[in-house]
């Protein structure tokens, strides 16, 4: 099966997606940008600033001296013998997106409702695959429409504090971390 063909889970056709990044809409509100594997579609989902920061830090490879909530949840699942199978953005109602976390413990499937931003942060923390349903995919944009005619992105990309990165931001993180990332002070 090609990645864009989708997979069936729990009777629904799922489309594998990846996190393209966190951007800002024209009103400077944070957006989570999910794309299919071939980058033919983009699904922008409005998220909060705190969630945008966490996802941006995860995408940037930043590590914290103490675990963030999503790192903690990954560790708790591991200690309880539960495996995080997948995260699915499964529905949209009245402009609000919904997600589910699929876990397996002792051969039992457990499904937990979540906000898409929390599900994505958990997926990034745990290396879990992300999917969207066909219903959710119907709200995506063609990838080519996200790029303006001049070649500029429709969405502004920003660093974790919602601003363009500065030299000071680079000084804030040490590049040499023994865990393979950048440690924030």
Length of the chain: 185
Q: What CATH code is carried by the domain that includes residue 78?
A: 3.10.690.10
Beta bridge partners of 82: 105
**Does 179 fall in a domain?**
no
**Does 13 fall in a domain?**
yes
Angle between helices 69-79 and 116-126 (to 10 degrees): 60
pLDDT for 110-146, tens place per residue? 999 999 999 999 999 999 999 999 999 999 998 887 7
Domain count, the chain: 1
Selected residue with higher pLDDT from 96 and 168: 96
**Does 169 fall in a domain?**
no
pLDDT for 50-59, tens place per residue? 999 999 999 9
Domain of residue 146: give its range.
3-152
**Does 67 fall in a domain?**
yes
Alpha-carbon span 58 to 55, nearest angstrom = 5
φ/ψ (deg, to 5) at 24: -125, 135
Percent of the chain at pLDDT > 70 equals 72
Which residue from 169, 134, 151 is spatially nearest to 56, judged by alpha carbons?
169
Q: Residue 54: exposed, middle, or buried by beta-carbon count in 10 A (0-12, 13-18, 19+)?
A: buried
Q: How many beta carbons lie within 10 A of that of residue 171, not counting itself? A: 9
Contact 132, 88 (CB under 8 A): yes
Q: Does residue 43 register a pLDDT over 60?
A: yes
**Does 162 fall in a domain?**
no
Q: Which of 63-67, 68-72, 174-178 has the least mean pLDDT? A: 174-178
**Does 165 fall in a domain?**
no
Q: Does residue 158 register a pLDDT over 90?
A: no
């Amino acid at each position: 099966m090609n990645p864009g063909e989708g997979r069936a889970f729990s009777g629904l056709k799922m489309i594998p997606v990846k996190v393209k990044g966190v951007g800002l809409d024209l009103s400077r509100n944070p957006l989570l940008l999910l794309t299919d594997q071939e980058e033919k579609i983009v699904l922008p989902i409005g998220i909060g600033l705190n969630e945008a920061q966490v996802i941006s830090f995860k995408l940037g490879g930043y590590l914290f001296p103490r675990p963030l909530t999503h790192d903690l949840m990954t560790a708790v699942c591991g200690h309880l013998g539960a495996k995080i199978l997948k995260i699915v953005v499964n529905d949209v109602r009245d402009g609000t997106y919904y997600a589910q976390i699929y876990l397996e413990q002792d051969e039992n499937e457990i499904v937990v409702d979540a906000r898409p931003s929390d599900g994505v942060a958990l997926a990034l923390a745990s290396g879990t695959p992300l999917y969207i349903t066909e219903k959710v995919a119907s709200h995506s944009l063609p990838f080519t429409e996200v790029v303006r005619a001049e070649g500029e992105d429709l969405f502004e990309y920003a660093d974790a504090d919602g601003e363009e990165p500065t030299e000071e931001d680079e000084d804030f993180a040490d590049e040499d971390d023994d865990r393979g990332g950048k440690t924030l002070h």
